[in-house]
Structure 1
Amino acid sequence: MTNSNGRPTGLYQLIVARMAGLSAAAFLGISTAYPHDAMRPELNTWFKSLKNKAGEACCDTGDGHHAEAEWDMAKGGYRVLLKHPHRPTEPGQWFDVPYSVVIDEPNLSGIAMVWWAPSYDSRDGSMTPLWRCFIPGPGG
């Protein structure tokens, strides 16, 4: 589809731009993230059974992430290092994990994990986590 000057029309450019965008998204791996090792399917049922202290399910297979976590002795709770999803080159920030989302049962995966979603301040773009669940790793 070209005009009289041999240049692509607006509709053609729009179609090509959208196809390029979708291809880039697929290439970059923007998809559902699975929080556990796909080579260990025996853990699927266990992950789906996890609930926080309010009885809310942790795992919907899309937002569980391996976590760098530590016990904060001064506060008597866990801290997790989270990165701003829209600023991946910036260093992460440590956040205190609310006790209400800590899972106290043994961690069958052996890796500390957190289920959360970002919330953004409209004034400065800062991020705070909306917590769903956290399970400490070995020794946690």
Structure 2
Amino acid sequence: MQGLALPGAAARDLDGRYAASPLKGWFEKLRSRKGPCCSDADGTALSDIDWEMKDGRYRVRIEGLWWAVPEDAVVTEPNRAGRTMVWPVYYRELNTGLRIDIRCFMPGSMT
């Protein structure tokens, strides 16, 4: 059985909660070297305990597991949102379990 992934999925804001955000346009244009991040509605904010730098690379904790952030997924422009965010793509396969591809990662400031 094949894994489920939605690489061509469009940004979503199903209930309209992000429509009035002053950063909406910025989020929609945000991209890493892997491509567009999509929008704030597709990203996940991380607590400081759920991301770190190890051996010169970022790592994020998603669903209780640590995932390496590919260098080309790091957003290099200034973080206008102020919070650390990650845009994961989930692949769930019957025999191999969970695999996550980090599409975009935007570090915040650890406090």
Both proteins in one fold, TM over 0.5: yes
Give the CA RMSD over aligned residues: 2.6
Q: How does 1:113-128 map to 2 (within 5 A)?
A: 113-124=85-96, 126-128=97-99
Aligned to 1:106: 78
**Displacement over 4 Å in runs of 4+:** 31-34
> Corresponding residue for 2:7?
none
Q: 2:102: which partner in 1?
A: 131
Which residue of 2 is the match for residue 81 of structure 1?
61
Unaligned runs of 5+ in 1: 1-30, 84-91
Between structures 1 and 2, the one with greater strand share: 2
| Structure whose alpha-carbon radius of gyration is higher | 1
> Could you tell me the TM-score, scaled by structure 2's length?
0.72
CA separation in 1, counterparts of 2:29 and 2:41?
A: 15
Shift of 1:130: 2.1
Structure (1/2) with the larger helix percentage: 1
Unaligned runs of 5+ in 2: 1-12
- Cα deviation, 1:33-56, whole Å, max 9, x if unaligned, reads 88xx95x711111111111114x1
Give the share of equivalent positions with the same residue, in percent. Answer: 32
> Paired residues, what number?
95
Residue identity in the other structure for 1:115: W
